[in-house]
Amino acid sequence: MIVATPQKVPFVPSSWYHVETMIELAHIEPGELAVDLGSGDGRILLLLAQAGAFAHGYEIDPLLNEKARSKMEENGLTEKITLHEKDFWEADLSSYSVVTIYGMDSIMERLEKKLQKELRPGSRVLSNIFEFQNLKIKEVKNNVRLYIV
């Protein structure tokens, strides 16, 4: 299912298979701060929170945020997930040690520069399908890449 957001960037949800791979590769520590950029319907946020992270999601589409909020409530995770109805380009990502993204080729170069500028050394970035050119790949599984900043 593809849903157009207000910015006309398509929402293409990550498959559960890829989401589970992202969580596996992230090696979440209890209480860690994690963020999903373009969090859509919240599926990655749910699994990040269930793995023990305090999960934040940036999503500009209010309808997708409402879906995510409903899932949070249904799963009893409102204390572990924070939704930001805001463009992630405007967000300061420096407090996060885990970042997940299902981007597009057109944003990856700009996003890589943002991540290199804002994230602390050792932060983990998980990208579903799309690649960064200069971040160090630690592992690839099921077309999900784990990068270390």
**CATH placement of domain 3-148:** 3.40.50.150
- % of the chain surpassing 90 pLDDT: 85
Task: Please say whether the beta carbons of 123 and 97 come within 8 A.
Answer: yes
Task: Name which of 97, 98, 107, 96 is nearest 129 in CA terms.
Answer: 107
Q: Tell whether the model's pLDDT for residue 5 goes beyond 50.
A: no
Residue type, 118: E
pLDDT of residue 13: 74
Q: Using 50, 70 and 90 to split pLDDT, how confident is the model at 9?
A: low
Mean pLDDT, the chain, as a whole number?
A: 92
SS (H, E, C) 25-92: HHCCCCCCEEEEECCCCCHHHHHHHHCCCEEEEECCCHHHHHHHHHHHHHCCCCCCEEEECCCHHHCC
Helix orientation angle between 16-26 and 43-50, rounded to the nearest 10 degrees? 40
pLDDT of residue 104: 87
pLDDT of residue 103: 86
* Residue listed under structure tokens 């996003």: 111
pLDDT of residue 1: 44
Task: Name which of 94, 101, 103, 102 is nearest 123 in CA terms.
Answer: 94
Domain locations in the chain as residue ranges: 3-148
pLDDT of residue 2: 41
Q: How far is CA 2 from CA 5, 8, 9, in A?
A: 10, 11, 10
Q: What is the mean pLDDT of residues 96-120?
A: 95
pLDDT tens digits for range 36-94? 999 999 999 999 999 999 999 999 999 999 999 999 999 999 999 999 999 999 999 99
Q: What is the mean pLDDT of residues 133-137?
A: 92
